[in-house]
Amino acid sequence: MTHFTAPAQPLTDGVVTLRLPWLAAGDVEAVLGYIKEEQLADGWLPEIPLVSAGQAVGDWLDAWAGRSSRNGPTFAVTVPGEPRFVGIVGIIDRGEGIVELIYGIAPRCRDQAWPAALSGSPRPGRPNSPA
């Protein structure tokens, strides 16, 4: 298993920010809110609702700490104006130097302009622009 070093600062392009999961930021409460609001379509939060919100966020943190993890290191995606994270980006080690990136966006946020930045697609209204 590859140990991915956590970045010292959040990663941002000025539109979206990828930050480490953070209990003090209310990430467990955010997951609980998405469960309560039934915002789980397409399995964008790995293992939810099969495991508790605390177990899911703890798993993401375990991976960044180099401990055994079911899902690998995961970033919380934030955007200005939203009080809780709105998506995740995960890193999965597939072995032999192969890394898979996964991402998920809360269903209520999918019609926004910024999700294209996560996928590397051109931004809406700006053909061929870098994400």
Q: Is residue 47 part of a domain?
A: yes
45: DSSP letter: S
SS3 assignment, position 125: coil
Tally the domains of the chain.
Answer: 1
Q: Is residue 3 part of a domain?
A: no
Transcribe 40-94 into DSSP letters.
Answer: -GGG-STTTTTS-HHHHHHHHHHHHTTS--SS--EEEEE-TT-SS--EEEEEEEE
pLDDT for residue 119: 55
User: What would the pLDDT profile of 82-127 be if each residue is shown by its tens digit?
Assistant: 889 999 999 988 888 899 998 999 998 887 766 655 555 544 443 3
The structure's pTM equals: 0.81
User: What would the pLDDT profile of 52-77 be if each residue is shown by its tens digit?
Assistant: 999 999 999 999 999 988 889 999 99
Q: How far apart are CA 23 and CA 10, in angstroms?
A: 15
Q: Is residue 32 part of a domain?
A: yes
Cis peptide bond upstream of 49, omega within 30:
yes
pLDDT for residue 122: 46
Cβ–Cβ under 8 Å, residues 57 and 76: no
Q: Is residue 111 part of a domain?
A: yes
CATH number of residue 74's parent domain: 3.40.630.30
Give the contacts of 43 (CB within 8 A, at least 6 positions apart).
Answer: 104
pLDDT for residue 125: 42
Q: Is residue 128 part of a domain?
A: no
Mean pLDDT of 28-38: 93
The β-bridge partners of 100 are: 92
Q: Is residue 127 part of a domain?
A: no
pLDDT for residue 74: 95
- By CB neighbour count within 10 A (0-12 exposed, 13-18 middle, 19+ buried), where does 57 fall? buried
Q: Is residue 57 part of a domain?
A: yes
Range of the domain at 29: 14-119
Q: Is residue 113 part of a domain?
A: yes
